[in-house]
Amino acid sequence: MLQETNLPEKENLHSRNKHRSRYDFKELCKSYPALSQFVFTNKYNSVTIDFAKPDAIKALNKALLKQFYKINYWDIPANYLCPPIPGRADYVHYLADVLAASNDGIIPIGKSVRVLDIGVGANCVYPIIGAYEYDWSFVGSDIDTPAIESANKIVKSNPSLKNIEIRKQTFSETIFRGVIKQDEFFDVTMCNPPFHASIAEAQEGTIRKIQNLNPGKKAKAILNFGGQHAELWCKGGEREFISKMIRESTLLKNNCFWFTSLVSRSENLPSIYIELQKAKIVDVKTIEMKQGNKISRFVAWTFLNHQEQNDWKVKRWEID
């Protein structure tokens, strides 16, 4: 049944992304045998799974994380966001490129490089990938207690993740306050902000996603594809969330080398650039990422001038 060989590469993924090839379900089922119950050959004679079924997606993620990142335990509570691993890996690799661009093209690796993941979620996927690929240290924050508990269980169940710390954000109206400690420094922050501006908008988006995966079938008007309130929507949507992040970052100019955030909607970029201009940042980068026909991007900004960047590298990255 599972006879895929010479698998074609997926279009446009980062060159260091381990998931550039199509899913090799034969090998993935060896890594995680429970995945096999979801695998079938479709009418095009391709081996696949039903990507509209949350249980199938979760099993696929377990297999991918075990095969490629040596994660022996990974799970999330019911109805929590189950992220696509290849796209998450792209963000991490492009972050490494941003740091390398500030370091004569050399990616800083090792535990001295500290990353803050805002909204780590129950899945803890970004820290898993970053810790494995670059040996970075992570702090992951979230406002949701079950998500914190889930992420902590993943970290504690895998010895390779010992340099990941999960923190509860107790101030629901702030992003960095309550997470970054006094005199604490991060080389880069990352965030996948809530996409929608309301629960109704989130439901509509979920329905569209399910219908795209199952053309002709009626989707239920519930969030059955995975994702909780804080993961999917907030007042003002991603534009207001990122604007708030930018405003708060002005109070932490010297605590972080690069601040970054995913921006799902390109139409939000003009207002984000206006906020960055108001914040009087020194440099901004917009990094575009592609996966097939899907285009996403993240914005990165820094308050450090050239001399301050050099001082940071010498002090933190042990550069001669």
Per-residue pLDDT of 34-43, as tens digits, reads 999 999 999 9
For range 226-247, the mean pLDDT: 73
Q: How many CA atoms lie within 13 A of 317 on its CB side?
A: 22
Helix/strand/coil percentages in the chain, nearest 5: 40, 20, 40
Domains of the chain: 1-69 (no CATH), 76-194+234-316 (3.40.50.150)
Give residue 86's region: left, alpha or beta (phi > 0; psi -120 to 50). alpha
Per-residue pLDDT of 65-107, as tens digits, reads 999 999 999 999 988 888 999 999 999 999 999 999 999 999 9
pLDDT band at residue 233 under the 50/70/90 scheme: very low
Model confidence, pTM: 0.87
Identify whether the C-beta of residue 77 lies closer than 8 Å to the C-beta of residue 140.
Answer: no
SS3 at position 261: strand
Residue with tokens 């034969």: 26
Instruction: Annotate 138-162 with DSSP letters as a single string.
Output: EEEEES-HHHHHHHHHHHHH-GGGT
Amino acid, single-letter form, for residue 64:
L
d(CA 161, CA 164): 6
Identify whether the C-beta of residue 303 lies closer than 8 Å to the C-beta of residue 253.
Answer: yes
84 burial type by CB count under 10 A (0-12 exposed, 13-18 middle, 19+ buried): middle
Phi, psi of 141 (to 5 degrees): -115, 155
pLDDT band at residue 138 under the 50/70/90 scheme: very high
Per-residue pLDDT of 185-220, as tens digits, reads 999 999 999 864 445 554 554 545 555 555 555 545
DSSP single-letter state for residue 55: H
